[in-house]
Amino acid sequence: MAPNITQKPMQIASYIDHTILKPTTILADIAQLCDEALEHGFAAVCVPPYYVTEAAQRLQRSSIGVATVIGFPFGYSHYSAKVAEAQQALDDGADELDLVMNIAAFKDNDLAYLETEIDALLKVRGTALLKVIVESGILSEEELIRICDLYGHYPIDFMKTSTGYAEKGASVEAVRTMRAHLPGRIAIKASGGIRNYDFARLLAEAGATRLGCSASVAIVKGESGAQPGGY
């Protein structure tokens, strides 16, 4: 159930994957991210693969998940490389894998490749949650529906709107389209450009039950205003 508009912003905290994926991330950033997740009760932290072990150690006595990204940010690495990356992340302690689909293969209408890719990742994910990032901001509505139809046949846990690195991130319209065309067992994660509570609430009301945010603390404090770009 989405947060009611009358609820306090803090109540959206359980929807949030507190995220830092910038290439200049350092260990102190991971420590702060984990401390903030513990303080505010976020669903998970999402960190670069290099820092999974550190995050897992810091959060091992909590219920907060450790997510990382696979094939990030463009998704066009070979699926065998993604499998190896996923296996390493799991070995390092990741609970959740955010996989960037091969958008180039989709644009080239190579659906067989995408089927091979998702089959391979499902074989290694074990008990970890698997979220497929589809980069909705660079897709037409028709393309997004085709992707929903494709992945709707697989036991993925979430479809995720965006990496935050394309020219357009999450949108209410994309979340609504995904919710209308995915089976109910597949949840939706919105990410990319979620910088204030007002936008986060709209995405949740549209059907997202996870929100990937780097501005998580500002969101749970109820900060409003214009919605800038970026993760």
List active site positions.
Answer: 98, 160, 189
C-alpha distances (whole Å) from 116 to each of 79, 124, 134, 140 are 8, 13, 16, 24
Q: What is the rounded end-to-end Cα distance, in angstroms, of the chain? A: 24
Q: Letter for the amino acid at 88?
A: Q
Alpha-carbon distance of 77 to 88, in angstroms, equals 16
H or E, element range at 18: strand 16-19
Residue burial 43-65, b: 16+ Cβ < 10 Å; e: rest: bbbbbbbebbbbbbebbeeeebb
Q: Are 213 and 17 in contact (CB under 8 A)?
A: yes
Q: Which residues pair with 46 in a beta bridge?
A: 19, 67
Backbone φ and ψ for 165, nearest 5 degrees, come out as -110, 0
Structure-block tokens of residue 183: 């089976």
